[in-house]
A = this chain, B = another copy of it.
Amino acid sequence: MVMTSFRKTKAYENVLDKLKNYIKENELQPGDRLPSERELVDQLQVSRSSIREGLRAIELLGLIETKTGEGTFLRSYQSYRTLSLLAMFIFQDPNTKIDILEVKRLIEKEALKMAFASDRLGVVEQWEEIAQVKNGQTISKHRAFYQVVFQSAKNDLLEKMWRLMDEFVETFHVQQYSDRFYLKVKNVFVQDHYQEIEKIFETAEG
């Protein structure tokens, strides 16, 4: 008996494949609406159950968003729920925790360098606005700080990756951000000392 280990593709996997192509062909952007579930039934010739299995799967991934009465929409990132779910499994390997922290830190450093090169003084200006307005939680201060950075770094992918990791880290690690760190970074920017960025990150702080 020949055992051609041939895995029959499931209906919902086909749905995802078709959906991916649909998004590509129509060049859908985050926020754009996907066809309704019932329209997809007609177009893909599978039952609504299968359609929904596929949609729920990528919803969990945070790739789409559904609104009752309106429809299904593409979105760009975010899904704290999934991350906390994955966290449980990912930490079967304790090393990944360290890896994530390391990569996140690396991204922060490089993003700062990119922002520095792109719009050094503009960044400083925005940081000062934040410092005046925001007296809120340290976590939102932290995000506001880097939002400015990524806006000037002009690399959406890098920002998406950072946000994922930042949210993920939040699931297992109480992040502490010292005001000293922000101040140090700002001074480096003000004084136009590009090389110092590397050195700041060589210390344990961050």
A58 is an interface residue with CB less than 8 A from chain B: yes
A179 is an interface residue with CB less than 8 A from chain B: no
A49 is an interface residue with CB less than 8 A from chain B: yes
Number of copies of this protein chain within its complex:
2
Q: Which residues of B are found within 8 Å of A76, using beta-carbon distances? A: 92
Within 8 A of B (CB), among A124-153: none
| Residues B157 and A85 in contact, CB atoms below 8 Å apart | no
Tell me if A's interface is mostly helix, strand, loop or mixed.
helix
Of A22-30, A170-178, A183-191, the stretch lying at the interface with chain B is: A22-30
| Residues B52 and A155 in contact, CB atoms below 8 Å apart | no
| Residues B161 and A103 in contact, CB atoms below 8 Å apart | yes
Within 8 A of B (CB), among A83-113: 85-86, 88-90, 92-96, 99-100, 102-103, 106, 110
| Residues B61 and A24 in contact, CB atoms below 8 Å apart | no
Q: Which residues of B are found within 8 Å of A96, using beta-carbon distances? A: 79, 156-157
Question: Which listed residue (B27, B77, B90) contacts A160, Cβ 8 A?
Answer: B90
Asked, given contacts A53-B52, A53-B56, whether A79 binds B88 with beta carbons under 8 Å apart, the answer is: no
A73 is an interface residue with CB less than 8 A from chain B: no
Q: How far is the CA of A158 from the CA of B105 in the complex (A)?
A: 12
Which residues of A are at the interface with B, using a C-beta cutoff of 8 A? 12-13, 16, 20, 23-24, 27, 29, 49, 52-54, 56-61, 63, 76-77, 79, 81-82, 85-86, 88-90, 92-96, 99-100, 102-103, 106, 110, 155-158, 160-161, 164
3 interchain residue pairs of minimum CB distance: A99-B157, A77-B89, A53-B56
